[in-house]
Structures are given as C-alpha cells and as structure tokens.
Structure 1
Amino acid sequence: MNVFQESCCSILGVLLVFLLQGSCSDPDAEVVHKAVGESLELIADYPKDGLEVQWTYNENVFAEFDKYIKPVGSQSFLKRLKMNEDNISVTVEDLKRQDSGSFSMVARAGAVQHKTKIIELHVHELIRDVQIEYNVSRLQSENICTFHLRCLASGDPNPSYSWSSHQIQTQGPHLNISLRPAENATLTCTANNTYSVNYTTETVVCREKLDYSSVLSGFPLKYLLIAVGAGIVVVVIFGATLAVCCRRRSNKGQGESEAGITVYEEVNTDGPAKKRSESVANGMSIYETVNDTKLSQNLPQTLYDKINYQRHPAVSTSTSTSSPYQEVL
C-alpha cells in the first residue's frame, strides 16, 4: 500500500514539473534563424494612435518609442541599431552568434495593453567549406587497407556530420572503412546546421603497394607530382645554363688562338728570320721598305747625301777660281 502511494506521488510530481515547464514557455513565440552578419528587423505592427513601445532583449529594454524612437538601457546594440519611425521598427544589424536570445515588443495605447510579440532568435555560422582528411594502414597478413577518415567544416564550430556512399550511411565526423587491393570507395561527407549545409566527396583506393601519398594526410598525390616536376625543371635549366657558359668560354679561347701571330710571336719564331715585307700580306709601309732594302753604298742614303753626292774636291786655299758657293750651284 505504501509502495503504491509512493509511486503515485512520484508520478504526480513528474506531471507537475511538465505542467510548470509548459506554462513557462510561450507557445506564441516566433522562432527565427539567422546567419552571422545578417539583420533582424523588429516591427511594432500596432495601431499608431497613442502608441508606446518597448523593445527588449532577454528582458532588458534596449529601445523605446513615444512619438519618436530612441535607444535606452545598456546600449547592447548601440553601434548596430537602426531605427525607422515610418513603420515604427528597430533593426539589429551585423548579427553575431552571441546575439541569440529572446526579443520582445511590449506595446500599449493609453490604458489598452497590446499583446506582446516574442521572437526566439538563433544565430548560426554559415558552413563555408568541408574537407576530408584521411590516412591508411595496411594489414599485411590479410592484405587489407584500412582508411581512417575525418570530416572537417569551417564556419560553424559544432555542425552535424553525416557520411554516405553506396553501402554506408552513418553519422559523426569520423569514419573507418576497409578495402581489399584494387577496391575503391567514393564517400560523401555532409556538414549541416539549422541554417546551412555543405558537403564534399572523396574517392579512396586500396593499391597493391602502399601508396605513400595516402599516408600523408592532407597531402594529395597531385601536389607531390607538382613538386617533383618543378624540381626536374630546375635541374634541367641549371644544367643547360652551365653547358652554355662552358661552350662560350671554350669558343672564346679558340678564337684567341686562331687570331694570328702577333708581332711578338713573329720575333720569337724559330727558323730563319723573315723580312717584314714577306710576312705581311697587305704589303709594306714606307718605313718597312726603308728597313728591308739595303741601298748600294754608291747611292745617296739621305736627302743631304744626294745633294752632296759627287762632291768636288776640297777647295784649296791656293785656288782662286773655285768657292763653296760655286760647288753647290
């Protein structure tokens, strides 16, 4: 009997709790979902005659209307608050996640109390990007590849994740699958919250030999191939530049050796001495002609020798018929 009474009391207590919770929640509240950066407009849609309105956020007044709108209270939205007296509204701009909460509009006209409008606001981050990271381990004894996958989304820090493929339907950010050699699986990870959704797809393949590009999580094979190709191009360019430099230096040395014999090399050449007129292909200058040709001792050697050539015997002091002037003439 006592047990029955105790059980009845416990059941009544539970029912009382649910009734109290139901009475505390407002069934007329409007639930609104917004993204970060968007705006929330709160319009006081009441008759305008003698209207007075207060806008509250979590039961704290932040704006009011009495012939005109003005911000009041803690000024939580002072720099993001836009007021419009034409339709008697306030707009909270550039919403943030911490702005989630309960907004209400309390209005009256003289002694008439209008029905309070309540808005439950939920501000969400947009899911902007979804990526799949994975690594693979190989069980050699059974020749099986085990892939350990992880789904990551940017934006909302706590989105919901789900995986899907032809044979897989599961929830959560992590997934482990096993494949045999030459088998593959195309997996789609979807991240979503109440306001946005985004997804990405990845194909994994179990190869005969361990694919080290798969072991490197977040470093796909295409990036490794790009790095190797860039290294080969650098080596080829460096080798070609070095070969061109060596070839130019070799050609320069050969050109200098083939330029011909200089005057110093001609002097030091072994063998019988050659005349300058015989060694110069373009002929001799007047000076080379003088040096190469030895004139007869009987011919005048200079201009003065020519003038005085075949001089008369010296004039004797005893001779009266000759003079130096007569000899020259």
Structure 2
Amino acid sequence: MLRGSHYCFFVFFAHNALLLLGIRSHALGDSNCKQQYGRAGATIVLSPGPISEKLYKALWKFNQINLVDINGVLNGHQFTDRSLLNQNNYSLTIQDLRTTDSGDFTFVSSGEKGQRPTSCTRLKVQEGLTQRPTLNVINITETSEESCEILIKCSSTPDQDVSYRWTVNGVMINGSTLQYPLKPHKGDTNFTCTASNMISAVSESQSFNCQSPPSPPPPGDLNGFLIIAGVACIALISIVGFVIVICRFKKGHAVASDVNEELTVYAEIDDIINTNIMKPCSVYETLENKAPPISPKPQAQTIYDKIQFNRVQQLQNT
C-alpha cells in the first residue's frame, strides 16, 4: 500500500515537472523569435542564421505545420507554389505575401555535430500605406479674446496597426487626436500628421486658425449616423403604428360591447311585452267586462197588487 502511494506521488510529480518544462521551453521559444515585417504582395526571405556545417536534416515549419524539408517543398499548405528553399544557405523565400501569412516560422536542423538550436522568425505582414492621411477639425473653443483651442483628428486608410505623429512648430506629439492652443495674432498654424506602420509612412499638412470652420464628418461617420437615424425612424413609426392599432382595437371592442348591451336591453323589454300582450277587444266588450254587475230594481207595485196583497193577508187570517 505504501509503495503504491509512493508510485502515484512520483508519477504526479514527474508529470507536473514535464509540464512546467514544456511551458518554459515554449515561452523561451517565443521570446527567442526574431521579429520581421513584410509588405502585402511583396517577396520576403527568411534566414535560419549562419550555418557552418553540413546538414543531414533541415525542416521549415509555419505554426508547427511542415512547409519545406531538405529535399524540397511540401504540398498541402497555404504556401504551396509560393515558397522556395535555398539549398546552399537553407533560407526560405516566400512570394506574394498575404496578411494571413503572419505567424511563427521555425527552422529545425541537425548536422555533423548533432541537433542544432532551433531558429525562429516571427513574421508580420502589413498593408502598405499609399493614401495620405486626412485631417479633420472636430472643434474650436474660444478660451479668451487672445487665444483658442483646436481639437483635430488624423485618420488613414487602412487604419489597422497604424501609428500617428503630429508635428507643430517643431514639436512632435504622438496620437491620432491633438488638442492645441492657438493665438489669433500669430496667424495660421501649420499642422503635419504622419501615419505609419512598420513598412511605410505617409504625411499630410494643413494650416488652421481660430476662425477655421469644423470639418464635415468623414463618410464612414456620416453613414453610421444615417443608419442610426434610419433605424430610429423605423422604430418610432413602428411604435406609433402599434399604438394606433391598439387604440382602434380597444375602441371597436367598446362599441361592440355597447351594441351588445343595447340589444340585450331591447330584447328584455320585448320579452316583457310579449308575455303581457292582450288580445284586441271592442269598446263595448271592455265596458261589459269592467262595469260592476247591476242588481235589478224591484218593479213598482200597482194598486191592484196592494189590494191583492191585502186580500191574501185576509185569507190567511181566516
């Protein structure tokens, strides 16, 4: 049991040690890479460094993918038909550079003295700057009667991996945006902006004063503003239309409820009338039905009736 635990501890320790060594060697390998820049569309030559012995093995790799060995170019990668190995000094030539060719190129070799140190070149391919930069006045603020401040921006196309430097009155200032004080009594002030990357640089100069009007927004900014405004208008129209539809729906629903309620009231009244309806009758029939019964009046007795009545009484008495 004890030996098993010692064995597991040893394996764990060895694994971590190898992992740390691998990370350290990878970091050292990255730090040992020399930086080299290339221009898109151009040709570049990558050198493995000085070689003073005969090599038995030589291999160029791009991001750990085999490109060229000592016998010639390997196929099946992005550099096929664009790369060439020099058999004398083992330098690698790459034609028609593309921005996607940026990466780490390593040269692995062995000679009469055994394995040689690995050579690493980190290539960065950039687009060349051909158009002059554009200077745009963002704002001019009057600070006093004798001075103002100008806010100006410099931009270029393309703008990836581009750095900017201003030159004003012999002073160099880094950055694409510059805020600078102006003196009206000194007249116009000349501003020079230089846009550059590692393979090219272009410059543009303009003069400004406190009365210089702000520049119109660049086309890209204007297009973005128009897109945002269009989206906002569409959203506003949609909201207004939705509110109108809801209001009409509620109004129609209320009218329908009132109509249904009115129909219900009339229907109830009609039911009451139908249940209490009477058959038509004449005036005489009404009077006959409504008048109280009349008792017949006793007829007036004549003298003969009285006499006869007395005789009847006499006869009854005898």
In the superposition, the TM-score normalised over structure 2's length comes to 0.50
In the superposition, the TM-score normalised over structure 1's length comes to 0.48
Point out the structure with the larger helix share: 2
